[in-house]
Chain A
Amino acid sequence: MSKKIIIDPVTRVEGHGKVTIHMDEQNRVKDSFFHIVEFRGFEKFIQGHPYWEAPVMVQRLCGICPVSHHLAAAKAIDQIVGLEPEDLSITTQKIRKLLHFGQIFQSHALHFFYLASPDLLFGYDAAPTERNVVEVSMRYPELAKKGILMRKFGQEIIKMIAGKRIHGISTTPGGVHKKVSAKERDYFLNGKDIPSVEAMIEWSKEILDFIKVYHSKNRNWLNEFASYPSGHLGLINKTTGNLELYDGYLRAIDSNGNKTLDDIDSNDYQNYFYEGVEKWSYLKFPYLKHLGREQGWNRVGPLARLNVCEGISTPLAAFERLEFLNASDGKTNNKTMYSHWARLIELLHCAEMMKELLEDDDLLSNDLLRRGERRSEGIGIIEAPRGTLIHHYQVDDKDRITRCNLIVSTTHNNEAMNRAVNWVANNVIDGQQKVTESMLNQVEVAIRAYDPCLSCATHALGDMPLEISIYDHLGNLSDVKRR
């Protein structure tokens, strides 16, 4: 008899997803799916709101990287008031960048220490009750404490600039609404109340040392597990081609490193991207138009960014990048599990960038606001912790938003995550008489490497769907209450 394996919910990811694997009578895998089970409708209900509400409202897409949404929307709204990123005051640019690096720093720390480390420290076949951050804190208290304090550092940077750690407000059209005081800045430099930015750099290096040791011990597994060819997409610095997280050109390469998207301007993105839709997931499947649905999909995020960039501007991270390149003989890296390593290199890069910005007195100026000539359309593209994030708004002459298009990072990774699930299904589960918990966790290990942010998402019960047939798209709640 054919059967269906369901992993639901996928845990230790932000938000909710669900996996189904379909097996035939001989326990051979027929098909596998990674379903995203939630739908929000932001693109529609934001219509009719004044454009300046977008950065404040849309960041509520995600509680882990609200800053990325806040900034991507802000960049789009800057265009509405007639400004390109380089038109903003130097201080505003630096404050926003610091905010962004603080955000990526905390998000990467969160992902590594709170969500992914149990798999690396205890192994994917450890007991499920042990695979969590609580167990990490018991068995590796020093490591756990550093992880918590690193996340705290990033969160505190965000709080200084945006007023609170989650869903704060920093940007207004054409600027930021709060200056940074010398006293606020020194909190991060003097190491009195919290470990200083120097400590963040040191600790980032320590954790990189950990992952490199891990790599040397588990090289074969890392090389093989969920490894498959794909395209890679990310922003690169406009002048140097270096790793770029805040503003740059879009570049994509294929699995061999050949350019498939040749450094295009953010404003042209619409000419190059389509989004496919499948019946079985609320998450869309973006791809490059000219390559088509089968060939045009890309991974995004730390691994993709390290693949598309030509270097890193900060010295310590640049050095780490070279070691990372050596591990794949300088070739484009298509191995899912290397995402963790790449993420930690970015962690170090963010720490270095935060230091550079915190020590820059431009940060403290009062010159915060610019104005240009009003436009009707704005596009903001940024590298969120999880990858390329696209916000696009059209606005009428009364200041109302009339259209909105959002392609969030995890959406780009949709196809990649499905391939990862499929890889584990075919290479680990296929043909097995008995499917063990550890095999199923490996499916999640593969998904977790992408640090998916399924936040527009929900949690489900193991044995659903139960009574779903009662609902259709017009089903109403009184039905539910009656049951």
Chain B
Amino acid sequence: MKINIDGKDYQVLKGKKLVDAAKENGIYIPTLCHFREINPSLGTCRICTVNVNGKFTTSCTTQVQEGMTVEINTPELIDTRKAIVEMLFAEGNHFCPSCEKSGNCDLQNLAYDMGLTFSRFPHAFSNKYVDFNSTRMIMESNRCILCKRCVEEIKTHDDKNIFSFVNRGVNTRVHIDYEEENKLTEAEAIHAMNLCPVGAILIKGMIYKEPFGERKYDILGKSKQTALNESRTYKNEEEKFIVATTSLAGCFGCHMSLLDIDTDILEMLEVIEFNKSPLTDIKKFSKRCHIGLIEGGCANSENIEVLKEFRKRCDILVAFGECAIMGGIPAMRNFVPLKECLEEAYVHGLTSEIGANIIPNHEDIPKILNNVYPCNEVVKIDYFIPGCPPNANHIWKAVQNILLGKEIPVMHEEFKYD
């Protein structure tokens, strides 16, 4: 039968799912919950959303029909699918830098493919249950996207479920039947872990096995590139481009990565000069800057002040690194009341003095915010460079792209979240 995709007619086989029919004709629709052996399709993640005969629907749950008109790769649909992935990142707690599944994660890889650098939705930072009770597995609900793959696909030999949805609405999570889980062979348990498109199902001991560069999507993605959007900043002829940098609630690793182009930095210094930056002794802005590079999120009142000052003084503001973009590891404290964090550090620590009762609080030190916030939830950010830390080449390609309008593709190994 014949269907029309993005204005072109294609021959497809009757009874096929739209997502598969498109694929057979060389048109890729991204998916996450879709898994070839699960029938009917789950339709839980909504990432394969397309437009069929004028209506949005998921292509994994749609069977092809004669004369069907389908839109897949319109700018609107591409953006819609990207937005859905961003929602998953904002809704769950996806800390790629320390996740066991990083590099082997379908969600992460999908985001790489889409060139996703930040989430347009504010991060929820809602605390989720992590179940350590099973002897072999950990269920990490912070990372679970409720795709239902494990629920539908993983069974014991006598066809009993191991995973099931419990609770309702926003509290829905996957529960492990500990007894049934014990019946799985080692290979079946590993299959369950690999079937999970994120890092929600972990097997104790099976951790960080492959080194960087040898993980699944390091290898599969090798030849992929991400195009940087062209933008161009103008300056007076005799002037250099002015760059300011700062580290908010970050670890300084992004600044170190800035130096990791080694001697190429000497070439960069022919076209740029640093203004306010921890690398110089310029403590206050002495002129307007073309670019401000921001490392780290906002964890205290002073971070907010500095970030606002950078917004005022810089034409283009770049958030570089996971902390600036989504709060990063420091944002893990968003799940714990600040008071408890402070007390653990200053009062109840293993080497705290007996009877310790002082918690720092003084006019000369900033107040700590109750949560750690990504920069774009505080001011407008123009450009995002992901990574923990961002790859040095990526940073400088982006800087050149912004300043000179050079269209430089970023290689897969330079575009990472961990």
Interface residues of A (CB under 8 A from B): 8-9, 11-16, 18, 20, 33, 35-41, 43-46, 48, 50, 52-53, 56-57, 60-64, 66, 110, 114, 118, 128-129, 131-134, 137, 141, 144-145, 148-149, 151-152, 155, 162-169, 172, 177-178, 270, 273-282, 284, 286, 392, 398-400, 403, 405, 407, 441, 453, 455-462, 464-468, 470-477, 480-481
Q: Which of A52, A164, A165, A280 contacts B365, CB < 8 Å? A: A280
Q: Does B266 contact A (CB under 8 A)?
A: yes
Q: Which one of B209, B302, B306, B333 has the greatest number of beta carbons of chain A within 10 Å?
A: B302
Pick from B17-25, B29-37, B221-229, B253-261 the stretch touching chain A.
Answer: B253-261
Known: A14-B252, A57-B98. A481 touches B378 (CB 8 A): yes
Q: Which residue of A lies closest to B368 (CB)?
A: A39
The residues in B between 153 and 195 inclusive whose CB is less than 8 angstroms from any CB of A are none
**Residues in A neighbouring B296, C-beta threshold 8 A:** 458
> Which interface class (under 10, 10 to 19, 20 to 34, 35 or more) fits B?
35 or more
Question: Which of the listed residues A57, A151, A172, A468 has the most CB atoms from chain B within 10 Å of its own CB?
Answer: A468
Contacts of B256 in A (CB 8 A): 63-64, 110, 165-166
CB pair A177 B208 closer than 8 Å: yes
B333 contacts across to A, CB distance below 8 A: 40-41, 44-45
Residue of A nearest to B275 (CB): A129
Is A275's CB under 8 angstroms from B352's CB? Answer: yes
Residues of B contacting A40 in the complex (Cβ-Cβ under 8 angstroms):
249, 299, 330, 333
From B140, which residue of chain A is reached at the shortest CB distance? A50
* A60-B257 in contact (CB<8A): no
In the complex, how many residue pairs between chain A and chain B have their CB atoms under 8 Å apart? 313
Q: Is the CB of A60 within 8 A of B97?
A: yes
Given known contacts A16-B278, A458-B296, A148 and B262 CB-to-CB distance under 8 angstroms: yes
Q: A18-B364, A459-B246 are in contact. Are A12 and B358 (CB under 8 A)?
A: no
A475 to B207, Cβ gap below 8 A?
A: no
Report chain A residues within 8 Å CB of B257. Answer: 63, 165-166
Nearest residue in A to B255 (C-beta to C-beta)? A63
Asked if B280 is at the interface of the complex by the 8 Å CB criterion, the answer is yes
The answer to whether B248 touches A128 (Cβ under 8 A) is no
* Complex contacts, B260 vs chain A, CB 8 Å: 155, 165-166
B208 contacts A280, CB within 8 Å? no
- Find out whether the CB atom of A43 lies under 8 angstroms from the CB atom of B349: yes
Question: Which chain B residues (306-362) contact chain A, with CB distance < 8 Å?
Answer: 306, 309, 328-330, 332-333, 335-336, 338-342, 344-346, 349-353, 356, 358-362
Residues B40-87 near A (CB distance < 8 A): none
Contact A461 B305 (CB under 8 A): yes
Cα of A473 to Cα of B138 in the assembled complex, Å: 34
Of A110, A114, A459, most buried by chain B (CB within 10 Å of CB) is A459
Q: Could you say which residues of chain B place their CB within 8 Å of the CB of A399?
A: 132, 138, 204
Asked if residues B278 and A60 are in contact (CB atoms below 8 Å), the reply is no
CB-contacts of B205-219 with A (<8 A) = 207-213
Shortest distance from the beta carbon of B117 to any chain A beta carbon, whole Å: 18
Q: How far is the CB of A324 from chain B (nearest CB, A)?
A: 29
Given A41-B333, A163-B212, decide whether A12 and B365 contact each other with a Cβ distance below 8 A: no
Cβ contact of A43, chosen from B202, B248, B298, B344, cutoff 8 A: B344
Please determine whether A52 and B278 come into contact, CB atoms closer than 8 angstroms.
Answer: no
In the bound complex, residues from chain B placing their C-beta under 8 Å from that of A177 are 208-211
Contact of A441 among B208, B250, B281, B306 (CB under 8 A): B281
Does any Cβ of A come within 8 Å of B388's Cβ? yes
User: B253 and A48: CB pair below 8 A?
Assistant: no
C-alpha gap A48/B127 in the complex (Å): 12
